Amino acid sequence: PPQAPPAPDPRPDPHPGPDAVPALRLQLQELQKEALAAKRRGDTATALGHYRAAKVCPGVPESLQIPLPVGRPAVPESPDSQTRDPPRDPPDTSPAPPATEPPRAPRDIREALEQRMERYQAAAAQAKESGDGRKARMHERIVKQYQAAIRAHSAGKAVDLSELPVPPGFPPIQGAEIVPEPSISGMLEAALKLTGPEEEEEEEEEKEEGSTKGAKPSAAPRAPPKQPPPPRNSQPAPKPTGKAQQQLEFLELRRRQLAQAALRAKRRNDLEGAKLLLRRAKGIEGLIGAARGGLPVDIAQVPEVPLDGAEFELGPGRGVPMPPEAAKTFLQLAGALRKQHQMCLTYSRQFAQLGNISETTRCEALAEECRRHMETLRREHSRGGPPPKPRYEQRTFSVVKMFPELSSSDLELGIERGIGLPVPPGVTAADLDTFVRFEFPHPSAEEAQRDKTNVVKSTDCPEFRARFRLRLLRGHRGLRRLLSSRGIKFEVTQKGGLFRPERALGSAQLRLEGLDGACELREQLELLDGRRRTGGRLEVWVRIREPLGAQRQLEPRSERWLVLEPAAEATGSPPAFYHVPPAPILLPRALPTFPSLNLLLFDRERLERKMVPFGRAGRPVPPELRQQHQDLLRRIQGLRTRLQGGDPHFRTEYAEHLERHLRLYTAAAQRLGTQGEREAAKEALYKRNLVESEVR
C-alpha cells in the first residue's frame, strides 16, 4: 500500500536555496542591531538570549552563521522577531567547522586582519581536536603570518595584503582592494607632483586628458574605495628629530630622484622603464611613513637611481656651426661632470652601507648639482652658445678606505725590502744572496699557505717587491684567534751554494689583529735570531678588501671640483686659473642679482688679497684680474652714487632686495650646516651678517 506522505517539518530547511540567502543575511543583521541596542540599555539577560538565538538562527546555514569574536558584545535578535519566529530547538554544542563568512564588516584594516586570524586559529584548534596534525600546523603558520602583518601595520609599515591567505567566504579588505594598474600618464602625473613644475607640463596635461577619456568607460561601474578610518587607540606620530629627520629628508630626496628619472625615461619613450621607476618611488612611501613615525630605516636597502649614460652626453646642436675649441671645451666639461657624478654615487653607496646618513645626503646633493650643471651644459650646446665658464673648488670627502680590486676572500701580501740584513761571518755584503720565505697557517696548520720570493743577489738591503695573493676565509671560526696570536711568519734566508747550505739570517712575525678596523697594514719588522736582535729589518704590508670588523676605516680625500658659472655671470669672468674661488655656497635658484654694497666691498677686499702676492713678487697683476677689480670698483661707485641721490623708489627696491638676500643666506647657512660643510656655512653666515648690518 502506498505510504502516507511525511508530516512537514515545522523548522525551515537548514540548507535554503540561493534566493533565500540575502533575506537571511538581512534578518541576521537586523537581529544584531537590535541586540546591540538592548545591550546598551543594560538588559543583559535579553542580550544573552538573543545572542544565542543569533548564533544558530533557524533557516540560516552554517556558512551564514556569523559568530562574534571573543570579547565582542553579544548580539541579540529584535523583540519583534521573537513573536514572529516559531519556537527553536536548543543550539547544537557540537564543534562545527569554521564558518566561511566574516563576523561583521570590520571598522579598519587591523580589525579585518584580526577577524581572519581568529578564523584560522579556530580552524587550527579544530584540526588538533580531530587529530589532523598536518592541517593544524598549516593553519598555525598562517596565523603567524597574520600576526606579523598586524605588527607591521600597527608600526605604520606598508603591508602587502595580497600575499596573505584569505579564509573561504571572506571579502577583500575594504580600503586594500587590488586596484587596476594605473596608466603611464597617471604615474607620470604623480611624478610631476613629486618633482615640482617641469618644462613639459602642457605635454603631460594632454597625455593625462587622453588617458582619462580612455579610462572612463571601465572605471565608471566601480566606486572609489572609502578610506579606512584610523586605527583604534591611535596616537599622533611623534615628529622625527635628529637622525630620523635626516633619514626622512634622504628618503624624500631619493623619491624625487626616482620620479625625475621616470620623467627622463618617458621623454625617451621608455614607458616600461618609467613604470618601473615610478613603482620604486611609490615603494619608498612606506619607508617615509616609518621614518615619520621615528622608526629606524636601513638606507642601504633603499632602491638606487639607475645611472643613465645618455644623461651625461651632449646632444646634437641646432645646425649652428661651432668652433673646434668650443666643441673641445664642451666635451671636456661633460667628461669632468660625468666623472664627478659617478664619484658622488660611489661615495653615497659606501656611506649608505655604513649607515652615515649625513654624508650620504651630502653626496646625493652633490650628484644632483652635477646633474643640474650638465643640463646647463647641454642647453648651451644645443643652442650653439659659448661654453659656460668653469671654476674649480676643493671639496673634501671622508671616504671609506677599501681596495675594490680584491674580493672578500683575498689577502694580498707584499714583501718590499730588507734593510741592513745581518751578514754572516766569512761573507761580505757584496756576496750576500737572500730570499724570504713566509707561512700563513690558515685555514689550518695542515693546510698552511707557504711561498717564497725570488733571490736578490749581492746586497744586504735587497729590494724584493714581491706580491702574493692568499686565501682568507672570513667565516672561519679560528680566524680571530689566528690573527691575534700567530699571524704570518717570515724567514730571511741566505741562498746556499755548491759547498754551502742555506742559512737562516733571521725571522719575524706579523700579527694581523689590526685588520679588524683597517684594510691595510704596513710595518717594518725586526729580524730576530731566536730571541736575539740581529739589527736587520724587513718591510712588509698586508691588504684586504675591507676591514674584518664592523668599524670602517675613513680617510680624508680632497678633490678638485668643477662648478659651472651661470651664463649671465660668465660673460665677463676671467679664466678659471685667475678666478677667485668663492666658497661652495649652495643658494637657491631665486638668488637676486641686485648687488649689496657690503657684499661688493667684501668681494673687493678678497680680490685685493689675491693681488697682493703679485706685487710682493715684483710681477705685474694679470690683466683679467685687474679688469675684474676695476669692474668691482665701478659697481661700488655706481651703487653709492644712486644711494646718495636720495631716490625713494630706488631705496625701497634696494631694501627689498636686501631682505631677500638676508633670507636666502640664512637658509643657505642652515642647510650647509646640516650637510656638514662647516666652512661654507661660516662664510654664508658671515655674508648674512654683512647684509643684516646694511639693512639696519
pLDDT number for residue 302 = 83
- For residue 567, give the nearest of 377, 382, 384, 315 by alpha carbon: 377
**Total domains in the fold of the chain:** 5
Same domain as 54, residue 120: no
Check residue 231 and give its pLDDT: 46
Q: Are residues 433 and 514 in the same domain?
A: yes
Q: Which of 350, 376, 400 is the last residue of a domain?
A: 400
Question: What is the pLDDT, as a whole number, of residue 166?
Answer: 82
Q: Are strands 410-419 and 532-544 parallel, antiparallel or unpaired?
A: antiparallel
Lowest mean pLDDT among 317-321, 463-467, 626-630: 317-321
- State whether the Cα torsion 411-417-419-424 is positive or negative: positive
Residues 159 and 48 in one domain: no
- Digit-coded pLDDT (tens) for 499-537: 778 889 999 999 988 888 888 899 999 999 888 998 999
The alpha carbon torsion through 198, 201, 204, 210 (nearest 10 deg) reads: 170
Sign of CA dihedral 556, 558, 562, 566: positive
Is 556 domain-assigned? Answer: no
Question: Is-contact 509 527, C-beta < 8 A?
Answer: no
The strands making up 488-494's β-sheet, listed across from edge to edge, are 449-452, 434-440, 488-494, 503-510, 520-529, 532-544, 410-419, 463-471
pLDDT band at 300 (very low <50, low <70, confident <90, very high): confident
CATH number at residue 438: 2.60.40.150
Is residue 40 classed exposed, middle or buried when 0-12, 13-18 and 19+ CB atoms within 10 A define those classes?
exposed
Is residue 583 scored above 80 in pLDDT? no
Query: Could you tell me if residue 206 is inside a domain?
Result: no
- pLDDT, residue 1, reads 46
pLDDT band at 285 (very low <50, low <70, confident <90, very high): confident
- Long-range own/partner contacts, residues 518-522 (CB < 8 A, 24 or more apart): 518/401, 518/547, 518/553, 519/401, 519/402, 519/403, 519/543, 519/544, 519/545, 519/546, 519/547, 519/553, 520/401, 520/403, 520/544
Of 48-52, 387-391, 405-409, 650-654, give the lowest mean pLDDT range.
48-52
Q: What share of the chain is helix, strand, coil (3-state, %, to 5)?
A: 50, 15, 40
Give Cβ neighbours of residue 459 (< 8 Å, ≥ 6 apart): 429, 430, 432
Q: Are residues 637 and 655 in the same domain?
A: yes
Asked if 464 and 416 count as a contact pair (C-beta separation under 8 A), the reply is: yes
Single-letter code of the amino acid located at 86: P
∠ CA 29-55-92, rounded to 5°: 155
Q: Are 424 and 479 in contact (CB under 8 A)?
A: no
Distance CA(48)–CA(625), nearest Å, equals 96
CA-nearest of 257, 293, 297 to 278 is 257
* Residue that has been written with the C-alpha cell 637611481 in this structure: 305
Q: DSSP string of 364-376?
A: HHHHHHHHHHHHH
The CA radius of gyration of the chain, in Å to the nearest whole number, is 39
Residue identified by cell 689550518 is 444
List of E strands, 478-519 = 488-494, 503-510
What the block records as the C-alpha cell of 619 is 710681477
Contact, 584 vs 395, CB < 8 A?
Answer: yes
Of the pLDDT bands very low, low, confident and very high (cuts 50, 70, 90), residue 223 is very low
Contact 665, 684 (CB under 8 A): yes
Domain match, 253 and 389 both: yes
The pTM score is 0.40
**Per residue in 178-189, pLDDT tens?**
444 444 455 555
Residue 553 located in a structural domain: no
Residues 422 and 329 in one domain: no
55-108 confidence digits (pLDDT tens): 655 555 544 444 443 334 434 444 444 444 444 444 443 334 444 444 567 777
Measure the CA–CA gap between 546 and 407, rounded to whole angstroms: 9
Whether 143 has a pLDDT exceeding 60, the answer reads: yes
d(CA 540, CA 413): 8
Residue 217 maps to a domain: no
Strands 503-510, 488-494: pairing is: antiparallel
Q: Report yes or no on 565 lying in a domain.
A: no
pLDDT band at 694 (very low <50, low <70, confident <90, very high): confident
CB 453 within 8 A of CB 436: yes
Residue 164 has pLDDT above 50, yes or no: yes
Ramachandran area for residue 386 (φ above 0: left; ψ -120 to 50: alpha; else beta): beta
Are 82 and 145 within one domain?
no
Q: Which of 416, 363, 139, 132 is nearest to 250 (CA)?
A: 363
Please indicate, yes or no, whether residues 85 and 102 belong to a single structural domain of this protein. no
> Confidence band (pLDDT; 50, 70, 90) for 465?
very high
- Res. 680: pLDDT tops 70: yes
The last residue of a domain, from among 400, 424, 453: 400
Amino acid 192: pLDDT: 52
Q: Residue 392: CA atoms inside 13 Å, Cβ hemisphere, count?
A: 12
Same domain, 498 and 626: no
Over residues 42-56, the mean pLDDT reads 69
HEC string of 611-632 equals HHHHHHCCCCCCHHHHHHHHHH
Q: Are residues 273 and 414 in the same domain?
A: no
CB 254 within 8 A of CB 284: yes
Is 360 within a domain? yes
Domain boundary residue among 381, 400, 419?
Answer: 400
Which range of 222-231, 236-245, 382-391, 647-656 scores highest in mean pLDDT? It is 382-391
pLDDT in tens, 338-369: 899 888 888 888 788 777 778 888 888 888 88
CA torsion 244-248-254-257 (nearest 10°) is: -150
Q: What is the mean pLDDT of the chain?
A: 74
Q: Give the residue with greater pLDDT, 413 vs 637.
A: 413
Mean pLDDT of 630-650: 78
**What percentage of the chain exceeds 70 in pLDDT?**
71
Whether residues 195 and 147 share a domain: the answer is no
- Residue 523: predicted pLDDT: 92
pLDDT at 414: 95
Q: Is 437 domain-assigned?
A: yes
Q: Is 434 within 8 Å of 418 (Cβ atoms)?
A: yes
Whether 273 and 389 share a structural domain? yes
Please report whether residue 229 resides in a domain. Answer: no
Write out the three cell numbers for 480: 680571530
What span, in angstroms and rounded, lies between the C-alpha atoms of 304 and 172?
33
CA separation for the pair 39, 43 (Å, rounded): 6
pLDDT band of 54, cuts 50, 70, 90: low
Confidence at residue 383, expressed as pLDDT on a 0 to 100 scale: 79
CA angle 272, 274, 280 (to 5 degrees): 105
DSSP-derived secondary structure letter, 71: T
Range of the domain at 468: 410-544
Q: Grid cell 667684501 — which residue? A: 602
Q: Which residue shows C-alpha cell 680566524?
A: 479
Secondary structure letter of residue 418 according to DSSP = E
| Partners of 491 in beta bridges | 437, 507
Q: β-pairing, 463-471 with 520-529? A: unpaired
Is residue 554 a contact partner of residue 401, using CB atoms and an 8 Å limit?
yes
Q: Give the count of alpha carbons within 13 A of 192, CB side only.
A: 18
Query: 311: which DSSP letter?
Result: G
Over range 441-452, report the average pLDDT.
Answer: 89
